Structure formats: C-alpha cells, structure tokens
Chains A and B, each alone.
Chain A
Amino acid sequence: MRRTLRLLARPEAGALAAAVVIFVFFLAVAPSFRSLAAFCTVLYQSSTIGIVAVGVGLLMIGGEFDLSAGVITISAGLVNSMFCWYFGVNMWVGAALSLLFCLAVGFLNGWLVMRTGIPSFLVTLGTFFVLQGANLGVTKLVTGSVSSRDVSAIDGFDSLRAVFASSTTAGAATIWITVLWWVLFAGVAGWTLQLTRIGNWIYAVGGSAGSARAVGVPVVRTKIGLFMVVSFLGWFVGMHLLYRFNTLQAGNGVGNEFLYIIAAVVGGTLLTGGFGNASGVAIGAFIFGMTSLGIVYAGWDPNWFKAFLGVMLLLAVLVNTYVRRLSAGKAA
C-alpha cells in the first residue's frame, strides 16, 4: 500500500496518466495525428517549449519564478542578429555576446531577488517588461522596423544553423536537432536533481530556504545559479529561432513564460518549491506539444487551445495537491 502511494506521489505520475489519455484521445479523433511525421512534429513543438521549461522547472523546484523567460528568447536572437548585421561581424561573435547578455540578465534577476528579498514574481515581471520594451525600441532604432534584418549571408550563419536549427529526415520522420538538445538538457537536469549534491541543494532551497541555510547550504549561490540556467536555456531557444527563421519579430515571445510554468506545474512541480522532477516537466512540455498540434490535426479552431491549457493546469494542480496530501501526511 505504502509503495503504491509512494509511486503515485511521484511528481510525474499525474502528468504521465494525462499524457497517455490525451495521446489516445487525439489518436481516436484526429486521423492525421496517426502518423510518424505528425509525431515528429509534436516532438519538435514540445522541444521548443520543453528546453526552457527544463530550466523553469528547476527554478520552480528551487522556489522561484522567472516571468522574463519568454521574451529573453527573442532578446537573445535580436542581440546576436542586430549586432552582427550592424557591425558586419561573424555570427559566432554575436552568439557569444548574446550568451553573455543572457547570463547577465539571469544573474541580475537572481541577484536582485536575493539581495532585496522582493519576490521573484515581481523582480522578473520588471525584467520582462524592460526586455519587451527594449526588444521593440532597439530593433526600431537599428533597423527602422519591428523585425530584424536578413542575416543569412553573414559568415557563421550556416555553421550555427547546423548547431541550433538543423533537421534530419529518415523516411517520413523529420527529427529536429532541438528534440535531441531537449532530451539532453532534460537528462542532465534529471541527473543533477536526483544524483548530485547541487540537486539536493535545489530541493532544499525550494523546500525551506531557512533550514537549508542553517545547515550550511549556499542558498544565494544556488538560487542565482538557477536563474542563470533559465536565461541560458532562453538564449538557446533564441538561437534556434534566429537560425531557423533568419529574421525575428521583436514583439514575439510574450506569453511563452506562462507555457513554461504550465509545463512545469502539469509535470508535478510544486508552485511553492521543493517538489518536482525533470521527467515530469518533460512530460508537461510533451502534453503541450500534443494538444497544440492535436487540435489542429483534429480540424478544430486552434483558438480553443488556450482554454484547454487552462483546464489542464487546474486539473494538474488539483491532482497534485490531493496526491501529495495523501502520501506526505498533513505535515508536508
């Protein structure tokens, strides 16, 4: 009995059940969902959310939020694209500069949260708006419009595309490289959480930062590190967008921060921190990919997708709260 409960209490249990139900559901109602090609597209769609969601999940287990994670993907691409276009330098230089920029934003988020004690929800809401405004403002200053210029002819574009935005086709299946990156990042996150000392610290700073500090866990460094992991993964997806589409719309990316948070919560991550795991977050992102495309394959109005996500989120929270109470007793 206890073993069954323990298994049910694993963060990803609810998400796994939901994923199976949703998968079978779309297989039944959407004929074009039943193909390998469609499955690969679902995986690709999941990976574009799933990569940043890996970081957001870790950060939420560590007890913090990052609302700037959606727009930073666009900021990352814009920094790279416009710097290289304006100065005419190799794209690799811009990519490295963009990485530094994103890590600095992540550090600033974390440092402000830890230094001021202001909830991360507010601090990153601030960064979110700053980045959103700067994306549009700077792009307009540099290019005169709200989209970045074509950079495909600049040196380094092709090699960077191979890293961030290539795909291989075998028969009907097209595997985007982001899917492989997603699996890699999720794997590293899972390994870190379960098997390393830093993972132990992440659970502890999210579960009870005061207790963690009292036994000597470096709370400030751990949390700032988590913010930087999120901004690193945001940079990564930004690179994918830039090298896949070549030009970026400066106003995009807004709203994606919530998709990452939903993926994490649907995957069993506790909103208040200290509980969750990497495979849960990956399943959460996969549910996102399945439904966003499943609705299209079923021929329904895609506008219903957001309503569906909202219902999923509420159900996930209810199931998780109930299961956790059942397994961890009232003390937890």
Chain B
Amino acid sequence: MSDPLVQLTGVGKSYGPIRALYDVDLRVGAGEVTCVLGDNGAGKSTLIKVISGLHPHTSGSLRVDGAERRFSSPREALDLGIATVYQDLAVVPLMEVWRNFFLGSELVAGRFPLARMRIREMRRIADQELRKMGIVVADIDQPIGTLSGGQRQCVAIARAVYFGARVLILDEPTAALGVKQSGVVLRYIAAARDAGLGVVFITHNPQHAYLVGDHFVILKRGAAVLDAARGRVTLDELTTQMAGGDELAELSRELGRPA
C-alpha cells in the first residue's frame, strides 16, 4: 500500500448543535479507489464537503500528503490537487462544452484589463482531452446540457484529471444513470485509478462499488460501521450491510412472511 494522499482520522462535523459526522477514518492512496457507501442521510455528502473544502471539519484531523489541513474554500482543496465532481453540480448546462471544461481555470493571454481567453487553444485542448478519454462530442460548442448524464459526468472527471487532480472525489456519479451509462462512468473511474489517481467514490450501490473499489467504508447515521479492504469483505456482506444489515433481519422477523 502506498502512502496516503488524503487521510482522515477521527473526523467529525457539527452544524451548530447537530452532529452530522462522528469520528470517521478514511484514507486514499495513489492508484486506489476508496468507496464510501451509505444510505440517504448517512453523512456521505457531509464527508465530501469536508474533503472538498466546502465546509471545514469541526473535530479530528485531515491530512494531505501527511500535512494537517483545514480547508475554508474549495479553491484551497483544488490547489492541493483534490477535485470534486458533484452529481448535481458537475457542470453549467447552458454553457458550451469547452467553456465548462475550462471554467475556473481559463487560459488567458495578456494583462488586465486587456486579458482575453485563448479560446482556440481551449477548444482544441477540450476536444483532445475528451477524445483521449473516449468521449466524442459532435460539437465542442454545443451547450453541455445537450450531452447525456454519463457524458456530462465524464467531462467533469476529464476536466479534473486534466487540471492536475491527484485525488478525485466522485459524488454518486452513477446515481441518476442507466446501466449502460453507469458502465461508461465506472470504466472511467478504473482508467483514472490506473493513471495513478486516488479516487474517493461515493455511492449507495454496492455492486458498482465492488466493481472498482480497493477499500470500502460504510457510513450509517454519521458514523462508520464498516471499514475494510478488498479481500476482507465480500459483495454479499457489503450488500447486506447497505441494505440495512441487522435492522433488515429484525424487520424481516417482524413482518414474518413464510419463505
């Protein structure tokens, strides 16, 4: 196992009197996929917000390359190579594909107030990077909202990779997608891992997680209930835990239908 790029130790997060996250440990190294599973409200999105810099954590420690950090803006996390692709906030639908690709990291020439974007170059690079990843868009000038959901996620991931992300945090990238589209995204996750990136893959689908994961963390009500490496846990165990585990067994007794 390589040294962790990002390591969380006992991280907790409170919003005023409400505790959304307790004492969570998580690590991701280069070329590894760490899957975070959990039901709705389990604390997955809070965890992402802490790592991506949207909301700072309130207890525990977050280390990037071994150095203690507490982010106060997404820019700080981005500058350390931690890029997040949100399920619903991946792109700006009405903007052209190339504008989305470079949003926030535009290439400019000249000085203020006459600085202008190097548009031709940006369009060429966006097209080239997307092709490299097997996404062929008919027209780099079309609004990104015209692409399929899977393609939009892939553009967002390709963008993060191009801009030097070392750690990718993917927030339910397959949640709203069909089987085929999910396959596109999962292949892409595997490609990013093979390219040496650390991936934190957040999902509520254990099948998807097991296809690409090296390490699995299951969250429940803000705390980790399972933390195991691949080989220490089977898909069945993951599925059972995710489906509710003991609670499910109890429920099945209660509802008591004969087999």
Contacts and interface: CB of A to CB of B under 8 A. Distances in A.
A203 B52 CA distance: 23
Given A6-B141, A212-B103, A214-B84, A203 B94 contact: yes
Contacts of B191: none
B117 interface: yes
B258 interface: no
Interface stretch (B28-36, B85-93, B210-218): B85-93
Q: Identify which of A6, A204, A327 gathers the most chain B CB atoms within 10 Å of its CB.
A: A204
A195 interface: yes
Nearest to A332: B145
Interface stretch (B38-46, B104-112, B180-188): B104-112
Contacts of B190: none
Given A274-B95, A275-B94, A328-B94, A211 B89 contact: yes
Interface string A240-278: 000000000000000000000000000000100011000
A68 B51 CA distance: 40
A208 interface: yes
Interface string B121-143: 00000000000000000110111
B93 A207 contact: yes
Nearest to A328: B143
Interface size band for B: 35 or more
Given A197-B115, A331-B145, A331-B146, A212 B93 contact: no
A215 B105 CA distance: 8
B75 to A, nearest CB: 5
Q: Identify which of A212, A214, A215, A274 gathers the most chain B CB atoms within 10 Å of its CB.
A: A215
B248 interface: no
A200 interface: yes
B249 to A, nearest CB: 39
Contacts of B193: none
A4 interface: no
Interface string A289-332: 00000000000000000000000000000000000000111011
A216 interface: yes
Given A2-B139, A196-B117, A200-B99, A213 B74 contact: yes
A249 B75 CA distance: 49
Interface in A184-206: 191, 195-197, 200, 203-204
B78 interface: yes
B119 interface: yes
A212 B105 CA distance: 11
Contacts of B139: 2
Contacts of B147: 331
B19 interface: no
Contacts of A211: 86, 89-92, 103
B89 A208 contact: yes
A119 interface: no
A140 to B, nearest CB: 42
Contacts, number: 94
B230 interface: no
B115 A210 contact: no
B237 to A, nearest CB: 34
A197 B75 contact: no
Contacts of B86: 210-211, 214
Contacts of B71: none
Contact of B94 (A191, A196, A210, A332): A332
A197 B89 contact: no
B84 A212 contact: no
A199 to B, nearest CB: 8
A204 B92 contact: yes
A27 interface: no
A19 interface: no
A118 to B, nearest CB: 21
B91 A216 contact: no
Contacts of B115: 196-197
Contacts of A329: 143, 145-146
Interface string B201-242: 000000000000000000000000000000000000000000
A203 B92 contact: yes
Contacts of A104: none
Contacts of B102: 200
Given A195-B117, A207-B92, A208-B93, A328 B103 contact: no
A6 to B, nearest CB: 7
B78 A274 contact: no
Contacts of B138: 2
Contacts of A208: 89, 91-93
A188 B113 CA distance: 11
A60 to B, nearest CB: 13
Q: Which 3 A-B pairs have the closest CB atoms?
A: A332-B145, A215-B104, A207-B92
16 contacts: A2-B139, A203-B92, A203-B94, A204-B103, A208-B93, A210-B88, A212-B103, A215-B103, A215-B105, A216-B105, A270-B94, A274-B95, A328-B143, A329-B145, A331-B145, A331-B146
